[in-house]
Amino acid sequence: MIPQGHLPVVPPEQVEAEKVLFPEVNDLMGRLHFSTSDGRIWLDDQRMLLVHAKALGMLRRDMIELLGLDVARGFMTRMGYYAGVADAQLARKVRPKTSIRDMFVVGPQMHCLEGIGISEAVRIECDVERGIHYGEFIWTSPVEDEEHIRHFSIGTEPACWMQIGYASGFSSEFMGRQVLYREVECQSMGHSVCRIIGKLVEEWGPEAAEDLRYMMPETLQMGVPPNVVRPACGVGQPGAEQIPTDMPVGMSPSFNSVMHLVRRVAPTQATVLFLGESGVGKEVFSRTLHRLSSRADKPFVAVNCAAIPEQLIESELFGVERGAYTGALQSRLGRFERADGGTLFLDEIGTLSASAQGKLLRALQEGEIERLGDSQTRKVDVRVIAATNVDLRDEVKAGRFREDLFFRLNVFPVRITPLRERREDIPLLMTHFLSKFNARHGRRLTGFTQRAVDAMLSYNWPGNIREMENVIERGVILAPEGGAIDAPHLFTSGERFTEQRFTINKDGKLVAMDPSVFVTELTQDREVERVSRRVSNLLLDDHDDCDKVSLDEIETLLLKRAIERAQGNVAAAARLLGITRPQMVYRLKSRGIINEGE
């Protein structure tokens, strides 16, 4: 149940503060369309639903009675959060040229338009760049209170759950920072109006963890509310508690379902297979799984199979006995033995050689390994977590991966959604990485500019969370001390913007763009034209053009093109060129197309 007595007391003088006037609501109303011919209601490009308030009240009551107050509150809060995120996206579109405040009050105005209740602003301080957010609103006759009181009468706890979720979701999306609204007075508690206050999560005290729990239950069940106890620029702040920076962060439905699976499987000994694109955080989830398991105090050993040359992978995994080959002067433990009692994480499992696959299968089935050049078998107690960004079924079909090993690994597959399909996690991740890199680099950046937030939210993130982490680290380093990270600090290496409405032009201005035009493609197209002209000259024996054509240049171009076609997926790009992924990675690295360690 919700602990009582921790709500902040509002000093009376704030109650009398001047009212904030909202702009006309016509621009928003103009976005609402009833399309009777096909049974749809549209709010801009979002399909809407006209729901009976009483039906919502009944659903709410049933949830409370069947699932308990806590669970029901969580569901309602998150439903509101998603709606708030969607409306914040609308706000950017509808009022892009007005003041930040006019853009921000789309939230309370939509709240009114969508029939939730009347919102009156008591105080709004909203500065995206300086990372300032304070919002105080009064709600009159909100629909949730009406329904709550109808079924449960006046109680001791606030009841505007969906609406608090909405305000938090809207503001977080708007700020690109995690904002939490709390209801400090509520009609369901007998107050004459509901009063809500919103601040950046880190500016609330520890009591915020209670309320945050309803918005992001899976992250918070880790027992470490992100950023709650840590100041935004937590450099050297006394008492700022150290929070592991490698824990998964998110609140989207797909994030929650992954965390649910992780939590389910963690206490067992089952082998787990993480699936998903590069950079979605497979290792982070694996570490979390280990931390939640009974092996938590034993080693977690991670191996990226693609990063180790084929001829070394077996000795790395299973160890070497002295004299196994010339130069093996002493015996060496493999990763299996080092992980004994704990967890071994094998990333990019699809790149293992046939012989290593056989040994891995034996280790999984028999729990024993043999060092290279050793006749003795050794028992190991290791839980294996594997991960891959390729389709192992395809690899099996192509004869590159053992079917029996695939079935052995595929006991408990967990698919992690790419970031572009869970955009509501972006503001949370931005806050998380900003704190992490502020601390790491000893900087005190306040947040992101409005156009940086726009760019982050509209970018397609082909490299997923790892790419975002790199982009924010770059931004933290480039932005002026004490200021905000701007879009040009983030997107400096020709990132392709796909599904978005904005791009950054040469002057660093964010401008609306035709989604089919990409800066990098333009330059590549010129490169393609030049090289292909020379190739055809050579092949067709046309000596008019005496340009030389370099094999190296053609290969570089093909590699880049394949990576682009495969949307950054290296394995898929390798398939396009009929080479293996490790070969592809080697070529990409040797040409500096990707960096070492990627």
Strand spans (E) along 78-117: none
Q: Which is nearer to Zn ion, 187 or 288 (by Cβ)?
A: 187
Instruction: Tell me the C-alpha to C-alpha distance, in Å, between residue 374 and each of 324, 353, 369, 382, 476.
Output: 7, 20, 10, 20, 50
Q: Which is nearer to Zn ion, 9 or 21 (by Cβ)?
A: 9
76 is a site residue for Zn ion (CB under 5 A): no
Q: Which is nearer to Zn ion, 159 or 200 (by Cβ)?
A: 159
Neighbours of 375 (CB within 10 A): 7
The minimum distance between CB 221 and Zn ion, in angstroms, equals 26
The minimum distance between CB 39 and Zn ion, in angstroms, equals 33
Which stretch, 45-53, 160-168, 509-517, 556-564, contacts Zn ion (CB under 5 A)? 160-168
Which stretch, 183-191, 436-444, 535-543, 562-570, contacts Zn ion (CB under 5 A)? 183-191
Q: Which is nearer to Zn ion, 140 or 590 (by Cβ)?
A: 140
Which of 194, 261, 272, 301 contacts Zn ion by CB under 5 A? 194
> What residues are paired with 46 via a beta bridge?
43
Q: Are 263 and 221 in contact (CB under 8 A)?
A: yes
Instruction: Please state the separation of Cα 257 from the chain's center in Å.
Output: 14
Q: Which is nearer to Zn ion, 116 or 471 (by Cβ)?
A: 116
The minimum distance between CB 187 and Zn ion, in angstroms, equals 5
C-alpha torsion sign, points 197, 78, 454, 490: positive
Which stretch, 87-95, 182-190, 198-206, 244-252, contacts Zn ion (CB under 5 A)? 182-190
Alpha-carbon gap, residue 568 to 462, rounded angstroms: 6
Which stretch, 186-194, 206-214, 225-233, 330-338, contacts Zn ion (CB under 5 A)? 186-194
Alpha-carbon gap, residue 82 to 499, rounded angstroms: 20
Q: Which is nearer to Zn ion, 158 or 582 (by Cβ)?
A: 158
Number of residues that bind Zn ion (CB under 5 A): 4
Alpha-carbon gap, residue 405 to 384, rounded angstroms: 12
Q: Which of residues 531-570 bind Zn ion (CB under 5 A)?
A: none
Q: Three-state DSSP class for 135?
A: strand
Q: Which is nearer to Zn ion, 158 or 447 (by Cβ)?
A: 158
The minimum distance between CB 145 and Zn ion, in angstroms, equals 5
Q: Which is nearer to Zn ion, 53 or 224 (by Cβ)?
A: 53
What is the DSSP pairing of strand 118-127 with strand 132-140?
A: antiparallel
The minimum distance between CB 148 and Zn ion, in angstroms, equals 8
The minimum distance between CB 191 and Zn ion, in angstroms, equals 8
The minimum distance between CB 3 and Zn ion, in angstroms, equals 18
The minimum distance between CB 136 and Zn ion, in angstroms, equals 14
414 is a site residue for Zn ion (CB under 5 A): no
Q: Three-state DSSP class for 294?
A: coil
Alpha-carbon gap, residue 88 to 110, rounded angstroms: 10
Which of 85, 143, 160, 572 contacts Zn ion by CB under 5 A? 160
Which stretch, 74-82, 144-152, 421-429, 437-445, contacts Zn ion (CB under 5 A)? 144-152
Alpha-carbon gap, residue 449 to 472, rounded angstroms: 13
Enclosing H/E stretch for 177? none
Instruction: Tell me the C-alpha to C-alpha distance, in Å, between residue 137 and each of 142, 163, 263.
Output: 12, 12, 38
Q: Which ranges of 114-223 does DSSP label H, i.e. alpha helix? A: 143-152, 161-175, 208-215, 217-220
Q: Which is nearer to Zn ion, 99 or 141 (by Cβ)?
A: 141
Question: Token match 């694996």: residue?
Answer: 286
Q: Three-state DSSP class for 127?
A: strand
Which stretch, 17-25, 137-145, 360-368, 566-574, contacts Zn ion (CB under 5 A)? 137-145
Q: Which is nearer to Zn ion, 157 or 395 (by Cβ)?
A: 157
Strand spans (E) along 363-506: 368-370, 377-379, 383-388, 412-415, 447-448, 484-485, 502-504
C-alpha torsion sign, points 519, 520, 523, 528: negative
Alpha-carbon gap, residue 278 to 347, rounded angstroms: 10
The minimum distance between CB 520 and Zn ion, in angstroms, equals 50
Which stretch, 1-9, 188-196, 472-480, 482-490, contacts Zn ion (CB under 5 A)? 188-196
Which of 83, 186, 490, 573 contacts Zn ion by CB under 5 A? 186
Question: Token match 């000893």: residue?
Answer: 442
State both tokens at 418. 């790419």
What is the DSSP pairing of strand 132-140 with strand 484-485?
A: unpaired
Which stretch, 106-114, 184-192, 536-544, 550-558, contacts Zn ion (CB under 5 A)? 184-192
The minimum distance between CB 159 and Zn ion, in angstroms, equals 5
For residue 273, give the nearest of 347, 218, 222, 363 by alpha carbon.
347
Q: Which is nearer to Zn ion, 184 or 513 (by Cβ)?
A: 184
The minimum distance between CB 48 and Zn ion, in angstroms, equals 23
145 is a site residue for Zn ion (CB under 5 A): yes
Q: Which is nearer to Zn ion, 78 or 451 (by Cβ)?
A: 78
- Output DSSP code: residue 436: H
Alpha-carbon gap, residue 598 to 594, rounded angstroms: 7
Neighbours of 333 (CB within 10 A): 14
The minimum distance between CB 337 and Zn ion, in angstroms, equals 59
Q: Which is nearer to Zn ion, 83 or 301 (by Cβ)?
A: 83
Which stretch, 10-18, 152-160, 424-432, 477-485, contacts Zn ion (CB under 5 A)? 152-160
Who's near 167: CB < 8 A, 6+ residues apart?
80, 84, 107, 111, 135, 137, 181, 196, 198
Q: Which of residues 25-54 bind Zn ion (CB under 5 A)?
A: none
The minimum distance between CB 161 and Zn ion, in angstroms, equals 9
Q: Are 294 and 342 in contact (CB under 8 A)?
A: no
Report CA Rg, the chain. 28
The minimum distance between CB 82 and Zn ion, in angstroms, equals 20
- Output DSSP code: residue 423: G
Q: Which is nearer to Zn ion, 27 or 146 (by Cβ)?
A: 146
The minimum distance between CB 443 and Zn ion, in angstroms, equals 40
Q: Which is nearer to Zn ion, 194 or 372 (by Cβ)?
A: 194
Residue ranges that bind Zn ion, judged by CB under 5 A: 145, 160, 186, 194
